[in-house]
Amino acid sequence: MLQSYEAIFDQGTIRWLGDKPQVETARVIVTMLAPMDSTQPKTRHKASARIAGQGKIIGDLLEPVIPASDWTVLG
């Protein structure tokens, strides 16, 4: 059975990005993706400038608007 694990290979070492395999010895097939450009951070999605300043804060930021006892999913 094949299982996939995501890792970064950097100068001869493997850094696991998630769960690492729970085995001592295994035969592996390695597929290399395009080289990573470490000088540029990942691009992040940006909100449209047209919605700047349109948001409103409703209620307290630190406390919920309704009491926790009213939430049926918590109990």
Its sign, for the CA torsion 10, 13, 17, 21, is positive
Pairwise CA distance, residues 37 & 43, whole Å: 12
Which residue type sits at 7? A
Instruction: Tell me what pLDDT residue 48 has.
Output: 86
Instruction: Going residue by residue through the chain, which has 75 residues, state the pLDDT in tens, using 9 for 90 and above.
Output: 788 888 888 888 888 888 888 889 988 888 888 876 666 666 677 888 898 888 888 777 787 777 777 877 755
Note the pTM of the prediction, 2 decimals.
Answer: 0.40
Q: What is the DSSP string of 40-75?
A: SPPP-----GGGTT-----S-SSS-SS-GGG-GGG-
> Which residue in 37, 24, 29 sits closest to 5, CA to CA?
29
